[in-house]
Amino acid sequence: ADGLPETDVFRDSVYVRLERLGFRVGEGLSERFSRDRPRFTDQLDVIKFLCKDLWTVVFKKQIDNLKTNHRGVFVLTDSRFRPFSRMSMANPAEAMARAQPHLYFPCGIIRGVLSSLGIKAIVQAETTELPSATFQIKTIPAK
Amino acid sequence: MASGQKAARVGEEVWKTRVEKVNAELVTLTYGTIVAQLCTDYDYDYAQVNQQLDKMGYNIGMRLIEDFLAKSNIGRCGNFRDTAEMISKVGFKIFLNVTPTVTNWTADNKQFSLLFDENPLADFVELPDDGRAQDELWFSNILCGVLRGALEMVQMSIEARFVSDVLRGNDVTEMRVTLLRYIEDEMPPDDD
């Protein structure tokens, strides 16, 4: 039963796979697009690079809102997340459930970008209303 | 020849005015990552990787043809030679911004080659140096599936496969396309 699309095991395997692909893409992107810019000064600087430069490369727009608790947690909101721009269904709940997997790859991209710039993090994403998407980044302090 | 020029004009026009673009390096990186992941998934059984890429392409092609027809506003092709021109000068132009050369027709007009001077999917790619990938992996095989899926939706059953690839050290990247048959319209069977 684990191979069936509606099981948790199946969903998790899809998540792991897409997130891993995104991670590798994120690493590559940050290498290519951070090459000609000044050295990063701090964590926030890296996050801003992600929100402005890299988001524009991938989704052709910047992140609309960035919040932080100044203790290593960042919340990025894209109020018109491009992959969601043409999703609609009669039933909003179902649309949201189906939209969810489209967040896995971008989560991986974010983690890959941060990782290649020296920041370890846990990245989670959710949507409460299409086409908006929220990404939460919890950075893990270096020991 | 006239159809070729018309196709080139349409392709250029659609590319310039009606296509939303994404960063080419994003596409190259994402595709490369998928191929690399498939190689580990299938334990470097490249025949299986080729097959998976073709299958993914087929699924994409079936959807992409809709977008192609909507954007290009092209009607039915009169013959397979026109089809080849449309694929090269409109299809590849609007989706990958390249125009592979159509050549090596067989006498019965059922088989031609597409020669790729450039291939955005394969930018910066080096095949693994394991002594087998160079002989067994067709890195851009997804394109064969795309063609097969797209043409099937417009009632052409074809076979597409690469016969050489610069990534393998060949002089050119060449895809061979063969028309198997035109698919006839059929009424669904009566079940009364």
Mean pLDDT (chain B) is 94
Q: Do A28 and B29 make contact, defined as CB atoms within 8 angstroms?
A: yes
Interface probe with A: pick from B22, B25, B31, B33, most Cβ of A within 10 Å:
B33
Write down the pLDDT at residue B66: 96
The answer as to whether B97 is a domain residue is yes
Write down the pLDDT at residue B175: 98
The answer as to whether B190 is a domain residue is no
Q: Do B29 and A29 make contact, defined as CB atoms within 8 angstroms?
A: yes
Q: How far is B42 from chain A (nearest CA, A)?
A: 14
Question: How many domains in chain B?
Answer: 1
CA distances from B142 to A74, B49, B59 (A): 38, 10, 10
CATH number for the domain including B21? 3.30.1380.20
- Span B7-27, pLDDT tens digits: 999 999 999 999 999 999 999
Among A18-22, B88-92, B185-189, the range scoring the smallest mean pLDDT is B185-189
Write down the pLDDT at residue A2: 65
Write down the pLDDT at residue A97: 85
pLDDT band at A1 (very low <50, low <70, confident <90, very high): low
Q: Do B33 and A21 make contact, defined as CB atoms within 8 angstroms?
A: yes
> What is the CB neighbour count within 10 angstroms for residue B136?
16
The answer as to whether B143 is a domain residue is yes
pLDDT > 90? residue B2: no
pLDDT band at B45 (very low <50, low <70, confident <90, very high): very high
pLDDT > 70? residue B192: no
pLDDT > 80? residue A4: no
Question: In this structure, what token pair is assigned to residue A29?
Answer: 């992107």
Q: Do A25 and B23 make contact, defined as CB atoms within 8 angstroms?
A: no
Q: How far is A60 from chain B (nearest CA, A)?
A: 8
pLDDT band at A94 (very low <50, low <70, confident <90, very high): confident
Please identify among residues 65-124 of chain A the ones whose CB lies closer than 8 Å to any CB of chain B. Answer: none
The answer as to whether B187 is a domain residue is no
pLDDT band at B3 (very low <50, low <70, confident <90, very high): confident
The phi and psi torsions of B110 (rounded to 5 degrees) equal: -115, 0
Write down the pLDDT at residue B190: 76
Question: Which residue from B160, B144, B132 is spatially nearest to B47, judged by alpha carbons?
Answer: B132
CA distances from B29 to A82, A116, A131, B22, B40 (A): 19, 15, 26, 12, 17
What's the whole-number mean pLDDT along residues A34-53? 92
Q: Which of A17, A24, A29 minimises the CB distance to B26?
A: A29
Q: Containing domain of residue B47, as a range?
A: 2-182
Q: Do A25 and B33 make contact, defined as CB atoms within 8 angstroms?
A: yes
Q: Do B36 and A24 make contact, defined as CB atoms within 8 angstroms?
A: yes
Question: What's the predicted TM-score (pTM) here?
Answer: 0.91
Concatenated DSSP letters of chain B:
-HHHHHHHHHHHHHHHHT-----HHHHHHHHHHHHHHHHHHTTT-HHHHHHHHHHHHHHHHHHHHHHHHHHH-----SSHHHHHHHIIIIIHHHHHS--PEEE---TTS-EEEEEES--GGGTT-----SSSHHHH--TTTHHHHHHHHHHHHTTEEEEEEEEE-GGGT-SSEEEEEEEEEEPPP-PPPP--
H or E element: which one contains A133?
strand A133-140
Write down the pLDDT at residue A142: 76
pLDDT band at A93 (very low <50, low <70, confident <90, very high): confident
Mean pLDDT (chain A) is 92
Q: Are B180 and B158 in contact (CB under 8 A)?
A: yes
- Span B134-189, pLDDT tens digits: 999 999 999 999 999 999 999 999 999 999 999 999 999 999 999 999 998 877 77
Write down the pLDDT at residue A98: 87
The answer as to whether B189 is a domain residue is no
Q: How far is B63 from chain A (nearest CA, A)?
A: 15
B30 vs A: CB within 8 A: yes
- Span A105-116, pLDDT tens digits: 999 999 999 999
The answer as to whether B192 is a domain residue is no
State how far Cα B145 lies from the chain centre. 7
Write down the pLDDT at residue A91: 84
- Span B103-140, pLDDT tens digits: 999 999 999 999 999 998 998 898 989 999 999 999 99
The answer as to whether B85 is a domain residue is yes
**Rounded CA gap, B36 and B44, in Å?**
9
The answer as to whether B69 is a domain residue is yes
Q: Do A21 and B30 make contact, defined as CB atoms within 8 angstroms?
A: yes
Q: Which of A20, A24, A58 minimises the CB distance to B26?
A: A58
